[in-house]
């Protein structure tokens, strides 16, 4: 076990060195660039790594601490999908045995090119907390007769939550440039971002190809409570999201969710 951990650490150090050398290989100084590229290639041969192996090392997955004992409701799944799409990640529904709960639980997992998966997880859990509270308040209002519904309070609350997610989804998309239809689209920066997003998507697909991932079942269409939808959209429209992009060695996005 110790030997295996030691080998993994050596491999991680080697990958960091290779990444550093590949970065130096982009230098305007031809001699420096050539030397760095030779060093990177030598390390790859020594550790039997390909360029794809190095790139895949940037792909990671994080698991949400939020879970359900049974299947997560549609609004919860839609929220994780909306967040994943906004931050160029993929979300998975993960069912596993919880020793602490002594039962099978389901939670959301985000797969992305670092640090995107961590940003997506933060956004998901922040929005989930806010939505859960809003849904609980709406269910209480249906029970007390403040809001009328032909459905049970819980079902009406689910319809409210779905509309809330649809409204917030557009706000999430606005955080990241989406294409040349964006009014703030900068052709040079924008095209670079699109290329990066395409590369990240390819890396995530390559990463998932090595995993045993089952496709999610498509949910059946249902007729939703119109009043609950309107209430959910109004509540979602009041949610404020702010993102600050700080450029350093990596692009990082600081997301805040305001009540």
CA 243, 248, 115 angle in degrees (round to 5)? 60
CA–CA separation, 124 vs 80, rounded Å?
A: 6
Is residue 77 within 8 Å of 127, Cβ to Cβ?
A: no
Collapsing DSSP to helix, strand or coil, 14 comes out as helix
Joined together, the tokens standing for residue 132 give 């859960």
What is the pLDDT, as a whole number, of residue 4?
54
d(CA 11, CA 233): 49
Q: Mean pLDDT per 10-residue run, the chain (259 residues)? A: 61 81 79 81 78 77 89 93 91 83 88 88 93 96 92 95 93 67 46 63 79 61 82 92 46 52
Pair 76, 94: CB distance under 8 Å:
no
Q: What is the pLDDT of residue 190?
A: 46
Contact 169, 81 (CB under 8 A): no
Residue where the block lists tokens 């792909």: 59
Query: What confidence score (pLDDT) does residue 176 get?
Result: 64
The answer to whether residues 232 and 161 touch, using CB atoms and an 8 Å cutoff, is yes
Q: What is the pLDDT of residue 72?
A: 92
Whole-number pLDDT of residue 245: 35
Q: Whole-structure pTM over 0.75, yes or no?
A: no
Q: State residue 215's pLDDT score.
A: 58
Q: What is the model's pLDDT at position 91?
A: 93
């Amino acid at each position: 076990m110790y030997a295996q951990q030691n080998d993994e650490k050596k491999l991680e150090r080697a990958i960091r060195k290779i990444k550093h050398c590949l970065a130096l290989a982009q230098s305007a100084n031809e001699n420096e660039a050539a030397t760095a590229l030779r060093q990177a290639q030598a390390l790859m041969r020594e550790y039997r790594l390909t360029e794809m192996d190095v790139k895949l090392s940037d792909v990671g997955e994080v698991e949400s601490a939020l879970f359900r004992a049974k299947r997560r409701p549609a609004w919860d799944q839609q929220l994780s999908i909306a967040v994943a799409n906004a931050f160029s990640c993929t979300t998975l529904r993960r069912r596993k045995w919880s020793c602490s709960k002594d039962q099978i639980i389901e939670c959301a997992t985000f797969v992305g090119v670092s640090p995107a998966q961590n940003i997506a997880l933060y956004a998901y859990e922040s929005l989930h907390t806010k939505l859960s509270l809003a849904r609980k308040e709406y269910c209480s209002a249906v029970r007390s007769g403040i809001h009328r519904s032909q459905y049970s309070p819980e079902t009406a609350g689910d319809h409210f939550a779905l509309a809330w997610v649809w409204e917030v989804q557009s706000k999430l998309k606005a955080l990241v440039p989406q294409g040349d239809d964006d009014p703030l689209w900068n052709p040079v920066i924008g095209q670079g971002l699109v290329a990066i997003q395409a590369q990240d998507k390819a890396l995530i697909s390559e990463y998932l190809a090595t995993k045993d991932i089952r496709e999610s079942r498509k949910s059946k269409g249902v007729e939703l409570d119109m009043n609950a939808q309107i209430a959910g959209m109004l509540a979602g429209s009041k949610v404020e999201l702010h993102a600050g992009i700080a450029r350093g060695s990596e692009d990082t996005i600081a997301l805040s969710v305001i009540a």
